[in-house]
């Protein structure tokens, strides 16, 4: 299911896979961006959505797209920068696929901002967010979207 919405990105400093501090709001304002929520010990939804992001990064590179991929951890107690780096390596995460983590409170704030917080990581749902310009609303794709479906949605947003 596709919806459009505006989400107030919290002004937080998260950590990337190298442990560097990243200003989330600034990072997501640098459009175009495609965002999802994952956790590294997930054995159901996240491996599927991360495989899709892996395929999507190839499509975006082939199209010479400036789009970036961002995955935010919903289990920061386990998902240290090192754990995210190992996870990203399993899926061939390239330089334009950023994985971020923070404290539990920060993770909850980000999840709530995008209306994906479900109280327990085991209750999370597959959702992908896209935005091609910081001034535009986000497209929200609920459910398991393929790389091709996300890429088509991204292309459609470019022509709006």
pLDDT interval class at 22 (50, 70, 90): very high
Q: How far is CA 102 from CA 17, 65, 73, 80, in A?
A: 11, 28, 8, 8
Predicted confidence (pLDDT) at residue 46 exceeds the cutoff of 80: yes
| pLDDT of the residue at 123 | 78
For the cut 80, the answer to whether the pLDDT of residue 126 exceeds it is: yes
* Total structural domains within the chain: 1
CATH number reported for the structural domain that contains residue 143 in this entry: 3.40.30.10
pLDDT at 31: 75
Q: What are the tens digits of pLDDT across the range 5-20? A: 899 999 999 999 999 9
Residues 123-139: what's their mean pLDDT?
A: 91
pLDDT in tens, 64-120: 999 999 999 999 999 999 999 999 999 999 999 999 999 999 999 999 999 999 888
Give the pLDDT confidence score for residue 122 in this predicted structure.
Answer: 79
Q: What is the 3-state secondary structure (H, E, C) of the chain?
A: CEEEECCCCCCCEEECCCCCEEEHHHHHHCCCEEEEEECCCCCCHHHHHHHHHHHHHHHHHHCCCCCEEEEEECCCCCCCHHHHHHHHHHCCCCCCEEEEECCHHHHHHHHHHCCCCCCCHHHCCCEEEEECCCCCCEEEEECCCCHHHHHHHHHHHHCC
Hey, how many other C-beta atoms are within 10 angstroms of the C-beta on 7? 18
Residues of the domain holding 58: 2-158
pLDDT, averaged across the chain: 94
């Amino acid at each position: 299911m596709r919806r459009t919405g505006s989400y107030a990105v919290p002004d937080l400093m998260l950590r990337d896979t190298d442990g560097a501090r990243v200003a989330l709001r600034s990072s997501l304002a640098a459009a175009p961006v495609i965002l999802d929520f994952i956790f590294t010990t997930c054995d159901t939804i996240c491996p599927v959505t991360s495989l899709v992001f892996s395929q999507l990064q190839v499509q975006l590179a082939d199209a010479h797209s400036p789009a970036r991929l961002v995955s935010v951890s919903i289990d920061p107690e386990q998902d240290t920068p090192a754990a995210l780096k190992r996870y990203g390596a399993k899926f061939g995460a390239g330089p334009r696929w950023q994985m971020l983590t923070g404290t539990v409170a920060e993770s909850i704030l980000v999840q709530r901002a995008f209306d994906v917080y479900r109280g327990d990581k085991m209750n999370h749902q597959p959702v992908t967010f896209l935005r091609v310009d910081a001034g535009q609303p986000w497209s929200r794709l609920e459910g398991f979207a393929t790389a091709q479906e996300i890429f088509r949605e991204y292309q459609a947003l470019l022509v709006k």
